[in-house]
Amino acid sequence: MVENARTDMKPAATNEKFAVLLMAYGGPSSIGEVEPYVMDVRGGRPLAPALLEEIKERYRKIGGRSPLLQITQRQAMALEAELLARGLRAQVFVGMRHWFPYVRDAVQAIASAGIRRVVAICMAPQFSSISIGAYFSQYDAAVKKLGGDFETRYVREWYSQNELIRAFANKVSDGISRFSPQERSDLAVLFTAHSLPQSRLEPGDPYDRQQRETAERVAKRVGNLNWSFAYQSQGYTNDSWLGPRVEDKLREYAQAGVRSVLVVPTGFICDHVEILYDVDIAFRELASSLGLHLERSQSLNDDPLLIKALASLVTAQMKD
């Protein structure tokens, strides 16, 4: 689903270059950047030293940095090429919500390139006002501060986009193939997404429904799955977070006699700490202690089907 941000935006002329802005969360590129990055995420509020050291240790265990920026840049390059193949002259920019290059940096780069038409896409398909809405607010604030005369369209949500579902389904099938025929006989598939604090969700917020619908569509496309859905990566607060928790589901599986679990993070597009640490290390260690064989489906990252999904979203905008 898309949302028009400016009612005066007309279809682009064939030879008129426009911008696509891919927005992602951001992440540190070194251990030294972890503390200022966490401070940015927390709005300047400091974190207890012991907790900060725990977060640094998580990044050490995944290679000392987040790969998110590099992956998003690869997505941008691939998308630009795909759009050109479709006859659309676009320049694709990357902006991060909580680290460099910030969304405001991307807005400045778009203005410096002399481009006025923008399609803004957040690299998370399911909408919530406290997640995706925050990206768009940051973009609007940057445009306003710059005094830019942009004609912008937002892709508000794309949780059911056909090529996205196909891409996830392919990763599920590949993941299942890593289990032996015997293990597949009682394999549990657990779709996951990033939890959000329930107290901050507005009435009618579609996030939970959309997350579950993405999982259901992927499961239906693969077919014949014993599947469930759970939330992961709850924050360091005393809030009540969306559930059920992945940890609780793993314990339920073990108690029910399930021995093989494929985790499928359909709430995430790219590898980053919530995937490489939370799933690949923490959940795998818990599963092992429970006697479970846990595998994870590969992230989409710059998968060609994901790039086609993004290109279809942009193409639809420029035809309206």
Give span(s): CATH 3.40.50.1400, the chain. 3-159+303-319, 162-296
Instruction: Provide CATH code, domain 3-159+303-319.
Output: 3.40.50.1400
Taking residues 34-39, report their average pLDDT: 97
Q: What is the 3-state secondary structure (H, E, C) of the chain?
A: CCEECCCCCCCCCCCCCEEEEEEECCCCCCHHHHHHHHHHHCCCCCCCHHHHHHHHHHHHHCCCCCCHHHHHHHHHHHHHHHHHHCCCCEEEEEEECCCCCEHHHHHHHHHHCCCCEEEEEECCCCCCCCCHHHHHHHHHHHHHHHCCCCEEEEECCCCCCHHHHHHHHHHHHHHHCCCCHHHHCCCEEEEEEECCEHHHCCCCCCHHHHHHHHHHHHHHHHCCCCEEEEEECCCCCCCCECCCEHHHHHHHHHHCCCCEEEEECCCCCCCCHHHHHHHHHHHHHHHHHCCCEEEECCCCCCCHHHHHHHHHHHHHHHHC
The amino acid present at 2, given as its one-letter code, is V
* pLDDT of 13 strictly over 90: no
Residue 15: the pLDDT is 66
* pLDDT of 5 strictly over 70: no
Q: What pLDDT, in 10s, does the model give residues 184-243?
A: 999 999 999 999 999 999 999 999 999 999 999 999 999 999 999 999 999 877 889 999
Residue 6: the pLDDT is 43
Residue 3: the pLDDT is 52
Cβ atoms of 270 and 125 within 8 Å: the answer is no
* pLDDT of 4 strictly over 70: no
Residue 1: the pLDDT is 55
Mean pLDDT of the chain: 95
Residue 142: the pLDDT is 97
- Both tokens of 260, joined, read 């093989």
Full strand arrangement of the beta sheet holding 260-264: 227-232, 188-194, 260-264, 293-296
Give me the CATH topology for the region 162-296.
Answer: Rossmann fold (3.40.50)
- Of 20-29, 140-149, 164-173, 272-281, least confident by mean pLDDT is 140-149
Q: What pLDDT, in 10s, does the model give residues 254-282?
A: 999 999 999 999 999 999 999 999 999 99
Residue 92: the pLDDT is 98
* pLDDT of 299 strictly over 50: yes
More confident residue, 320 or 109: 109
Residue 118: the pLDDT is 98
Taking residues 172-178, report their average pLDDT: 98
Residue 237: the pLDDT is 79
Q: Of the candidates 276, 266, 24, which has an alpha carbon nearest to the alpha carbon of residue 168?
A: 266
CA atoms within 13 A on the CB side of 32: 0
Percent share of the chain, pLDDT over 90: 92
